[in-house]
Amino acid sequence: MNFKLNNSYLLDSFVIGGELEGKGPISAYLDYINSFKDSTFENTEIDSLISCIDHLLEKTKLEPKDLDLAISGELSNQLTTTNYTYRTLLIPLIGIYSACSSIALGLGLGSLLLEIPKTKKILVSTSSNTESAEREFRNPNEYGGEKVGTQTFTSTVAASAILTREQTNIKFTSFTLGKVIDVGFTDANDFGRAMAPAALETLFEHFKETNTEPKDYDLILTGDLSSFGYEIVLKSLNEHFGNVTNYKDCGLILYDVNNQNVFAGGSGPGTSAGVLLAYIKKKIQKKELKKVLLCATGALLSPTMIFQKNSIPCIAHCIVMEGI
Amino acid sequence: MQKTREYYKRLIKAERDYKSMTKSFLQSFFFGGLLCLAGQGILTIYNNFFEKTTASLLLSITMITIAAILTAIGIYDEMGQIAKCGLAVPITGFSNACVCAAMEYHKEGIVTGVGANCLKLAGSVIVLGTTAAVIVSSLRYLFVVIL
């Protein structure tokens, strides 16, 4: 379902990248590079999200009490990172789970809530961490079993943004809420291919409901489809809309897939969040891009269900970011 | 839905990449063989100092210790990406599976963390290995001893 947004502007954002992201192609656009090292992987992820929000509040000279509410979501079980981060912030919180598409859902929900006159400023945050995701969804980090080429690499990124009703130079104009799509794909080592149908479904719906075509956007981004999913989506878009040249994938922007050891590309909530809130935001501010469509994708799998030989449900949400 | 389930299914159908599969097989064969060669070398040296059964026991201990140390310092997982199954099938793979799980869970305590999770990955080798041994030995007993 598509929503036209009228009151949602981006006040500011802050993105912290890890070590590998700091060596990637868009490292110059990241606000801060830091490889946090705490006693556990989970604590490390919490530290980086806390630090990210602190930096953002400092940058915008705001206090937690100035924010009406916060929307946050990431990959961890029981939203550990979100809940343990916000226990120190005391902002009314909506915790969301939409796997790697958290940022699009967060920004979209925030924008919808800004339609209510009472809300003035909303904090949206997300994060991901290679080690904690590896431990939760795959094998222990030091396990020497072969990782297949179709696998993606969870990025270590913490990203946060503040949405406001007051006009700034970046506006969110449209939001398409996706449906859960499951076509019976079961390979948990190939999320790219699993999520491609969800991405296409939401993209088609977005184009149909907004009466637009890929060429109406300066750039169309998908979240973390890996090089395999990227090819599938590109093929299908070409089939339906002619030659689409402005389509890219965030996981392939954040890392240099050929020279960095990230298998088929980056994944995780931090991937699309980092690319949108650092790279795209700065490109729009520099007027190099004007209208960008992000279709963030998420594989909503549960390791338990995968072990029980069940398939992978996926979701994707579209949000349009425009420079004014 | 904008497109049918069948359309998406057809779209995401994976093609098997036999070229890269062959490459992986050859890599596993080469590095696995190399590891066995190293093991044989160590066994030959041990044979000079100990009697045969002690030497082969010491060889296993040596291999397990080396793999455990390499896992602990974070090299083994990277070696595993190059050697593929060549490192996972021999006893070094078992050692790695135990140590990596123990490292991952040591923050959860000795009993509920390391103790409970150490065999998370390697446990199936013990359980199924024992079961297979019982079945094979029973068959051997049946055919060789009784008949």
List of chain B residues whose C-beta atoms are within 8 Å of the C-beta of residue A144: 71, 76-77, 79-80, 87-88, 93, 96, 100
Each residue's pLDDT tens digit, A151-191: 999 999 999 999 999 999 999 999 999 999 999 999 888 99
List of chain B residues whose C-beta atoms are within 8 Å of the C-beta of residue A299: none
Q: What CA–CA distance (Å, rounded) separates A139 from A143? A: 6
Mean per-residue pLDDT, B83-95: 89
Amino acid B71 reads T
Contact criterion met (CB < 8 Å) for A143 and B80: yes
Tell me, what's the pLDDT at B88? Answer: 85
Long-range contacts of A284-288 (CB under 8 A, 24+ apart): A284/A169, A284/A170, A284/A321, A284/A322, A284/A323, A285/A169, A285/A170, A285/A323, A287/A323
Residue B106: Cβ within 10 Å count: 14
List of chain A residues whose C-beta atoms are within 8 Å of the C-beta of residue B96: 142-144
Instruction: Please determine, for residue B15, whether its predicted confidence score (pLDDT) is greater than 80.
Output: no
Residue B58 CA to chain centroid, in angstroms? 19
Mean per-residue pLDDT, A185-210: 93
Q: Which residue of A43, A136, A146 is the best one to mutate when testing the B interface, meaning the one whose CB has the most B CBs within 10 A?
A: A146
Contact criterion met (CB < 8 Å) for A142 and B99: yes
Instruction: Please determine, for residue B16, whether its predicted confidence score (pLDDT) is greater than 80.
Output: no
Instruction: Please determine, for residue A26, whether its predicted confidence score (pLDDT) is greater than 80.
Output: yes
Mean per-residue pLDDT, A232-247: 93
Mean per-residue pLDDT, B113-137: 93
A221 three-class SS: strand
Contact criterion met (CB < 8 Å) for B79 and A135: no
Mean per-residue pLDDT, A212-224: 94
Amino acid A205 reads E
Contact criterion met (CB < 8 Å) for A197 and B8: yes
Quote the minimal CA–CA distance from A49 to chain B in Å. Answer: 21
Percent of all residues in chain A with a pLDDT value above 70, rounded to a whole number: 100
Q: Name the more confident of B89 and A69.
A: A69
Contact criterion met (CB < 8 Å) for A181 and B80: no
Which residue's structure tokens are 């550990």? Answer: A80
Instruction: Please determine, for residue A37, whether its predicted confidence score (pLDDT) is greater than 90.
Output: no
Tell me, what's the pLDDT at A308? Answer: 94
Q: Which residue of B has its CA nearest to A131?
A: B104
Q: Which residues 6+ apart lie within 8 Å of B16 measured at CB?
A: none
Please say whether the dihedral angle defined by the alpha carbons of residues A56, A159, A72 and A102, taken in this order, is positive or negative. positive
Instruction: Please determine, for residue B145, whether its predicted confidence score (pLDDT) is greater than 90.
Output: no
pLDDT classification of B47: cutoffs 50, 70, 90: very high
Contact criterion met (CB < 8 Å) for B101 and A232: no
Q: Is B48 on the interface with A (CB under 8 A)?
A: no
Out of A146, A190, A232, name the one closest to residue B11 (CB).
A232
Residue B51: Cβ within 10 Å count: 9
Query: How does DSSP classify residue A100?
Result: G
List of chain A residues whose C-beta atoms are within 8 Å of the C-beta of residue B9: 183-184
Tell me, what's the pLDDT at B127? Answer: 95
Dihedral angle of Cα A305, A99, A297, A155, to the nearest 10 degrees: -110
Each residue's pLDDT tens digit, A62-108: 999 999 999 999 999 999 999 999 999 999 999 999 999 999 999 99
Interface A–B counts its CB contacts (< 8 A) at 91
Dihedral angle of Cα A138, A311, A183, A237, to the nearest 10 degrees: 0
Q: What CA–CA distance (Å, rounded) separates A283 from B85? A: 45
Q: Is B98 on the interface with A (CB under 8 A)?
A: no
Mean per-residue pLDDT, B98-114: 92
Tell me, what's the pLDDT at B81? Answer: 87
Tell me, what's the pLDDT at A159? Answer: 96
Tell me, what's the pLDDT at B134? Answer: 97
Q: Which residue of B has its CA nearest to A233?
A: B11
Selection from A202, A192, A179, A317 nearest residue A267 by Cα: A192
Tell me, what's the pLDDT at B90? Answer: 87
Contact criterion met (CB < 8 Å) for A232 and B80: no
Instruction: Please determine, for residue A147, whether its predicted confidence score (pLDDT) is greater than 90.
Output: no
Each residue's pLDDT tens digit, A299-318: 999 999 999 999 999 999 99
List of chain B residues whose C-beta atoms are within 8 Å of the C-beta of residue A141: 77, 100, 103-104
Look over chain A and give the mean of its residue pLDDT values, rounded to a whole number.
93
Instruction: Please determine, for residue B3, whether its predicted confidence score (pLDDT) is greater than 90.
Output: no
Percent of all residues in chain B with a pLDDT value above 90, rounded to a whole number: 64
Quote the minimal CA–CA distance from B72 to chain A in Å. Answer: 8
Each residue's pLDDT tens digit, A244-267: 999 999 999 999 989 988 889 999
Contact criterion met (CB < 8 Å) for B8 and A208: no
The pTM assigned to this predicted structure is 0.92
Tell me, what's the pLDDT at B18? Answer: 79
Tell me, what's the pLDDT at A279? Answer: 95
ipTM over 0.90: no
Contact criterion met (CB < 8 Å) for B8 and A196: yes
Tell me, what's the pLDDT at B146? Answer: 78
Look over chain B and give the mean of its residue pLDDT values, rounded to a whole number.
91
Quote the minimal CA–CA distance from A72 to chain B in Å. Answer: 27
Q: Is B19 on the interface with A (CB under 8 A)?
A: no
pLDDT classification of B1: cutoffs 50, 70, 90: confident
Contact criterion met (CB < 8 Å) for A142 and B71: yes
Out of A142, A179, A204, name the one closest to residue B100 (CB).
A142
Tell me, what's the pLDDT at A148? Answer: 82
Q: Is B77 on the interface with A (CB under 8 A)?
A: yes
Tell me, what's the pLDDT at A12? Answer: 95
